[in-house]
Chains A and B, each alone.
Chain A
Amino acid sequence: MRKALVAVIATAALVIGASGASAMTRTDAATPGISKSLITIGGTFPLTGPASLYAPIPKGMQIYFSWINSRKAKSDGKRGVYGRQIQWKYYDDQYTPSKTVELTNQLLLQDNVFAIVGSLGTEHNQAIRPLLNQRKVPQIFVSTGASFWGTQAKQFPWTIGWQPDYIAEGTAYGKWIVKNAPNAKIAVFMQNDDYGKDYLNGLKEGLGSKASLIVSTETYEVTDTSYASQLAKQKASGADTWVLLTTPTPTVRALATARALAWKPDTIVINSVSAVDSVMNAARNSAGAAYVNGAISSAYLKNPTNPKYAKDAWMRTYYRIMHKYAPGIDARNGFYYYGFAKGYDVVRVLYMAGKNPTRQSLIDATKRMNWANPYAIKGVRDKTSATDRFPISTIKLIRYQDGSWTEFGGLIQGR
């Protein structure tokens, strides 16, 4: 018995030794993901799990690509991009970074994608960034507003963000407070992670010499189920302006808690809260209209439910295409719109990458962006250069009133 076992192990060791010696051969004659008729791109998104409210984003992108694939381009009369159909593959990483790594490898090795586009989540993109940069795979228009996609572009040249970063957004709120409420007493309630800290840094930058207006800073953990003790302290601090650097669900809970404490400060909420109407409407249901009306936030995309845009030609295009390709879904959801608007920029850079695109020509294209995305607020430009790696950094402030957000004031340059 024991002899037999030794024999087995020895054989195994020999085989491993012999087989290990042969190196793997790679064949990359053509650009991966590019064929005569197809451009294959992919990304990862939380379709299930705690962050599944973002699941409409890749679907919105898909619908935009479906439309591009079926329409004839004005420039050359061909469908798709220079006659190539866009094949869009996205997988569910359940908002777990290790899953993001696994699935991104699947996209690279099995689906042979040309580029990773729009993958969602800060840590999730951070997890795959070294891998993609080592393999020289473009990681473009990531769906996260962390500032380091732009600030660390030298170290990771194959990665680029898309939306205004959190620091830029925080700065805009700070500037607004200084200008419009110079005697405010500010309470900051934030998520205890890099996300919250990015925002706080931005807010302080915007406040500048007035940073001392912040009289209270409290944090919460993603897993906290009650904020009562933190918010009681904030109420006691005498603050009259409340900056909520909080993600959607915690925002609803915080507003409901404020109502329970009968604390009614002026409120600022961040863009990922105001990006879909459903969040504030849920807050209105649980905290009452008085506690949410008048809240201020910011936007860079048009709001698909704002009556102001009902007659807007591009908004009508959006609804027409959405109804045609996905008749059953609720196109008013801002995350479909976000995906759709991102799809527009993806197609633009794919065209810029040329008739025979390579990964290099695509990433080079992202350094020469300069246009107005028609689905963004008028005046917002997508602009990049070899050194400016923040595609969108213009925002506009918005105010909530009875179910919808309305733009006010002028455009603010976050960077």
Chain B
Amino acid sequence: MRRALTVFNLVVIAVLVLACALIPQHAGELTVQRLTYVGIYFIALVGLNILVGYSGQISLGGYAFFGIGAYTTTLLTLGKPGMELYGHHPPSWLPLGNGMHAIFTIPIAALVAGLFGYAFGLPAQRLAGVSLALATFAVAVSFPQILKKFENVTGGGGGLNLNLPETPFGLDVSVPHWLYYEAWGTAAVLALVAWLLLRGRLGRSLGALRDGEIAAVSSGVNPTAYKTFAFGISAAYAGAAGALFAELVAYVNPDTFPASRSIILLASLVLGGVGSMYGALLGAFAMEYLQIWSENMPFVSKEASNQAPAVTFGVILILVMFLAPYGLAGLLRRVGRAIIHRLDTKTVALSQSRRAEA
């Protein structure tokens, strides 16, 4: 049974990776672009999943770290000359170069956001459950205001235009395709890293802390170290996603990172399925496509109420929670398990009958 599951997982991953690689050849530019957003959200959700799903700490502030990554990339790609061109004068202590290509800024954005996340994780250790959720939400709410305060760095409410994305290294790839592969390539690497991290000591320790902190501590797990690390790594993932987002959108301002997006980020993870990589993937699709679908629902007209899309999103969320408490991934897993179980019993029956023949 276990073996069958592993093989099943591998087949699914292989199909997904292949589909991911081949889609741009057969899809229109808009689809490619939307899937690029899905890839970006996937990265952020994988990170959030480490925090929420594995360490059990609820965060409503994910999008703020996403924003930190986006602003890091903006500043680094514009560089000092670019900022001055737009009439902004960043302080001299800020190590801005002459503008670099966005792809090199991804690890830096992840690092910067990760450090902010780690720093936030330290005091957050004193909080748990609802209080922690509120503290993280405070981060999400104050983030746009803080951006406005440091106008000479962030461009204030007017925001900053990035240079339009282009394909680096003289590659013969169209810009939308490059952005797509960049996002999904980063997503693949980061998902693999997360998987490697979580299957080992880190995952076990986080799980132990989540399920019974006292038991875990008495077995020698350092709660502060692991929990703050989870905050840091989750923020780093959000930062990497934000970097790609900034490159794609080519514009940032405080209104781009409203607190409501943090809630949608968490809701999408819950919708997809907390605690599973497939959940993050399905959540990423939900985040991009659910809004588009809910705007074009045949039975609720936008004329009837301009809140129809938001209500639709909420209703779907409630329905999923009601019918599939482990999210869409949990639902699929149940269906998958049932199929495998049937196949398994058949193989067992078959081998038994063979043995009987022999």
Is the CB–CB distance between A48 and B307 below 8 Å?
yes
Give Cα distance in the complex from A402 to B29, angstroms: 54
Give Cα distance in the complex from A160 to B256, angstroms: 24
Known interface pairs A96-B255, A109-B33, A127-B251. Does A20 touch B157 (Cβ–Cβ under 8 Å)?
no
Stretch of A98-106, A163-171, A178-186, A290-298 lying at the B interface? A98-106
Min Cβ gap B100→A in Å is 19
* B249 is an interface residue with CB less than 8 A from chain A: yes
Contact partner of B306 (CB less than 8 A), chosen from A12, A48, A192, is A48
Is the CB–CB distance between B253 and A48 below 8 Å?
no
* A333 is an interface residue with CB less than 8 A from chain B: no
* A356 is an interface residue with CB less than 8 A from chain B: no
Is the CB–CB distance between A126 and B159 below 8 Å?
yes
| Interface size range of chain B in the complex | 35 or more
Min Cβ gap B160→A in Å is 9
Stretch of A129-137, A264-272, A344-352 lying at the B interface? A129-137
**A276-309 near B? 1/0 per residue, CB < 8 Å:** 0000000000000000000000000000000000
Would you call the interface of chain B mostly helix, strand, loop, or mixed?
helix
Is the CB–CB distance between B251 and A101 below 8 Å?
yes
Is the CB–CB distance between B250 and A130 below 8 Å?
yes
Give Cα distance in the complex from A123 to B161, angstroms: 10
* B171 is an interface residue with CB less than 8 A from chain A: yes
Is the CB–CB distance between B164 and A130 below 8 Å?
yes
Known interface pairs A20-B177, A96-B256. Does A193 touch B157 (Cβ–Cβ under 8 Å)?
yes
Contact partner of A12 (CB less than 8 A), chosen from B18, B29, B144, is B18
Is the CB–CB distance between B185 and A16 below 8 Å?
yes
Q: Which residues of A contact B20 (CB under 8 A)?
A: 12
Known interface pairs A101-B249, A130-B161. Does A96 touch B258 (Cβ–Cβ under 8 Å)?
yes
Is the CB–CB distance between A193 and B14 below 8 Å?
no
Q: Which residue of A lies closest to B158 (CB)?
A: A194
Q: Which residues of B contact A194 (CB under 8 A)?
A: 156-158
Is the CB–CB distance between B302 and A47 below 8 Å?
yes
Known interface pairs A19-B22, A98-B245, A101-B251. Does A193 touch B156 (Cβ–Cβ under 8 Å)?
yes
Q: Which residue of A lies closest to B174 (CB)?
A: A24
Interface residues of A in 203-239 (CB under 8 A from B): 221-223
Interface residues of B in 139-168 (CB under 8 A from A): 144-145, 148, 156-159, 161, 164
Would you call the interface of chain A mostly helix, strand, loop, or mixed?
helix
Is the CB–CB distance between A97 and B29 below 8 Å?
no
Is the CB–CB distance between B306 and A20 below 8 Å?
no
Give Cα distance in the complex from A168 to B353, angstroms: 90
Q: Which residues of B contact A8 (CB under 8 A)?
A: 10, 13-14, 17
* A313 is an interface residue with CB less than 8 A from chain B: no
Interface residues of A in 1-45 (CB under 8 A from B): 1, 4-5, 8-9, 11-12, 15-16, 19-24
Q: Which residue of B lies closest to A24 (CB)?
A: B174
* B357 is an interface residue with CB less than 8 A from chain A: no
Is the CB–CB distance between B255 and A97 below 8 Å?
yes
Give Cα distance in the complex from A127 to B185, angstroms: 26
* B181 is an interface residue with CB less than 8 A from chain A: yes
Give Cα distance in the complex from A23 to B170, angstroms: 12
Contact partner of A4 (CB less than 8 A), chosen from B10, B157, B307, is B10
Is the CB–CB distance between A12 and B159 below 8 Å?
no
Interface residues of A in 246-279 (CB under 8 A from B): none
Give Cα distance in the complex from A251 to B214, angstroms: 55
* B275 is an interface residue with CB less than 8 A from chain A: no
Give Cα distance in the complex from A195 to B22, angstroms: 46
Q: Which residues of B contact A223 (CB under 8 A)?
A: 144-145
* B173 is an interface residue with CB less than 8 A from chain A: yes
A-B contact count (CB 8 A): 126
Q: Which residues of A contact B295 (CB under 8 A)?
A: 91-92
Is the CB–CB distance between B174 and A23 below 8 Å?
yes
Interface residues of B in 278-317 (CB under 8 A from A): 295, 302, 306-307, 309-310
Q: Which residues of B contact A110 (CB under 8 A)?
A: 28, 30
* B188 is an interface residue with CB less than 8 A from chain A: yes
* A201 is an interface residue with CB less than 8 A from chain B: no
Give Cα distance in the complex from A261 to B15, angstroms: 68
Give Cα distance in the complex from A207 to B285, angstroms: 55
Min Cβ gap B268→A in Å is 16
* A95 is an interface residue with CB less than 8 A from chain B: yes
* A122 is an interface residue with CB less than 8 A from chain B: yes
* B319 is an interface residue with CB less than 8 A from chain A: no
* A385 is an interface residue with CB less than 8 A from chain B: no
Min Cβ gap A161→B in Å is 16
* B92 is an interface residue with CB less than 8 A from chain A: no
**B169-209 near A? 1/0 per residue, CB < 8 Å:** 00111101110010001001000100000000000000000
* B21 is an interface residue with CB less than 8 A from chain A: yes
Q: Which residue of B lies closest to A5 (CB)?
A: B10
Is the CB–CB distance between A15 and B21 below 8 Å?
yes
* A370 is an interface residue with CB less than 8 A from chain B: no
Q: Which residues of B contact A106 (CB under 8 A)?
A: 30
* B219 is an interface residue with CB less than 8 A from chain A: no
Q: Which residues of A contact B161 (CB under 8 A)?
A: 126-127, 129-130
30 contacts across the A-B interface (CB closer than 8 A): A8-B13, A9-B188, A9-B192, A15-B18, A16-B181, A20-B177, A20-B181, A24-B29, A47-B306, A48-B306, A48-B307, A52-B306, A92-B306, A95-B255, A96-B255, A97-B159, A97-B256, A98-B256, A102-B249, A105-B30, A123-B255, A126-B158, A130-B161, A130-B164, A131-B164, A192-B157, A193-B148, A194-B157, A221-B145, A221-B148
Nearest 5 interchain pairs by C-beta: A193-B157, A127-B251, A24-B174, A109-B30, A15-B21
A residues neighboring B (CB under 8 Å): 1, 4-5, 8-9, 11-12, 15-16, 19-24, 47-48, 52, 55, 91-92, 95-98, 101-102, 105-106, 109-110, 122-123, 126-131, 134, 192-195, 221-223
